[in-house]
Structure 1
Amino acid sequence: MTIDRALPRTADNLLLTGAGTGTRVQLQGIVKSFGGTRVLHGVDLDVAPGEFVSLLGPSGCGKTTALRVLAGLETADSGSVMLGGRDVSRVPTNKRDIGMVFQSYSLFPHLRVLENTAFGLRRRGVARAAAAARAAAALELVGLANLADRFPHQLSGGQQQRVALARALVTEPRVLLLDEPLSALDAKVRVQLRDEIRRLQLRLGITTVFVTHDQEEALAVSDRIAVMDSGRIEQIGTPEDLYLRPQTPAVAAFVGLSSALPGLATGSSVTVWGTRLPIQGDPAEGPVEALVRPENVRVAPDTSSASDAGVSAQVEESTFLGSFRRTVLRTTDGIMVHAQHSAEERLEYGQRVRVRLVPAPVTVRRV
């Protein structure tokens, strides 16, 4: 797999000077149980050198456990962990040459920012002067060179997480693992740091595995996303593949927003409110729920004519989201429908409208 680089590598920073092309990461048939409860059911994952892959799923789906097995913090019951073609399943964490960033910053409160950043290097026996130079380069990379002499309590949450990122990168690991590193930050800082992590990853060419339950984060930064559910990978693909071509109902329901609408399937199509929609995935027969994206729902004034396509509905709420609006509608049968439309099209609470569907492909689930 070829990964396009958004920015060229340069020699203006010690870390960038030695930037590599990444390491292949593989999980092969990973099985893991806790107290008799199996949480990973033969997970297979193949991450190309320099690729950014996100493990995405709801709480309890096994994504963090998979990352911890990859890091060596948990030992799999069976299966193999491969880094660069070498089986490291029984290699301790500190010998795997990985960098990790957690949700909690885990900075030493009595050490200054530069000392926190250089800590891993000093533990590896790097001379003080050399460790300080490399730590300074890492802080420059994350935009904190001017805060090297501060203590953690003098930093904001976003700045502390940048220090944690610099500390993970300073050892020049082959692989970077990120375990929900943004979830403790406010929305604006999360977006800024999310984009910064992606920019750095592209510049360094480092293979990265990112755990998150936030689909927007995963869609924004990933080369590919592995959607997990109940200890299994449901689907892995590009953000576009997962959103536009989900292979299972679980993926369609979790990635993006969908409305579950009743329909009647006949092979490769399903009829919903008089409109035939192509079915993505396996053909189906009989009553199903069609998972319809909000951009494929059209809203028009209700003419109260039975011959009109679609169904009658009432506006429950309408939210302005900048470049578009998202409106929740309730049909006369009590079915909730999400529609996405132009920001200029204002709909008021209680307004009667007509809802019809665009004949775009949908995923269905049996009822």
Structure 2
Amino acid sequence: MPIPIRPAVASVPPYKPGKPAPVGPDGSSFKLSSNENPYPPLPGVIEAAQHAVQRMNRYPDMANAELTAALAAKHGVGDDEIALSTGSVAVLYNLLQTVITDGDEVLYAWRSFEAYPIAVQLTGARSVPVPLGPGATHDLEAMLAAITPASKVILVCTPNNPTGPIVPHDQLADFIDQVRDDIMIIIDEAYLEFATAPDRARFDDLRRPNVVTMRTFSKAYGLAGFRVGYCIADPAIAGAVRAAATPFGVSAPAQAAALASLAADADLLARVEELIKERTAVVTGLRDLGLAIPDSESNFVWIPAGERTAAWAAEFEAAGLAVRPFTDEPDAGIRITVGEPEANKLVLQVAGTLKP
């Protein structure tokens, strides 16, 4: 007789990673499907990681003490308000583990980060997806209306993955103040470094006992392969995340690389500026072709392709571009990471041949 698998696990939809880069007819090959930073690690990062590798026979610092102190100093918070795990997705899982019980509800905008429904289902909670509003933005009024006595967590992704817009600061602050104090509000800011809008969220003005901010080293810092994410939260919540996290989860090379990355902020900002320039060029080029591209404050752009999603994604792939199609309705579309200038030029070239 087979071992019974818990229903919440047996029926969970698998996470779909971005496809590897195909090779186009002219040899072009660019992976624009996973929102990775196209640049190599920042100066000093490889050296720091290599030094840490020499001690791989020892366990890493389970408390992540040096990295925690550096992050606390960066954000002006106490060490006890920082909790790390293996990427912000793992932080999300740990956060939900700390508060969710059977019958609870978790609200989030949809479409948003595809890991949300998976993480919620694994806890035994019920997902409450709230459709996006005009311009692929969070409909905060609808989210407030969806709150019930069973609501336990609300997820807000800003900039939103995969559509790109931010939730303006004042709207987010007003939203937070209207939510019950016993509901955890998780603000997922994985792409915050790419946001340039004057009204983007300001962390210092949103701090509440029930508000958690998630950040990652995977995107702007270019450490996707090392899996380092963290949250800033009330000490009680941060302590619970540390308790739920896998012991020794963040490896010694990952900790060293993250520390070195924090020390290279000037180089980071220069790279981010280049990606923002490329993003602007891609958004402008796609709009000039007549495509209804929403504002993007992240390192990707969103093409709301609808029923043409699969066909258009195949056109990009045939040219050597791996993009990320989301074919399920509603809000089917294609997410394209901002990559190297050559890749971005090819994106616009292919987009100009797409048939409506």
Structure whose alpha-carbon radius of gyration is higher: 1
What is the TM-score with the length of structure 1 in the denominator?
0.28
What is the TM-score with the length of structure 2 in the denominator?
0.29
Q: Which has the higher contact order (CA 8 A, sep 6+)?
A: 2
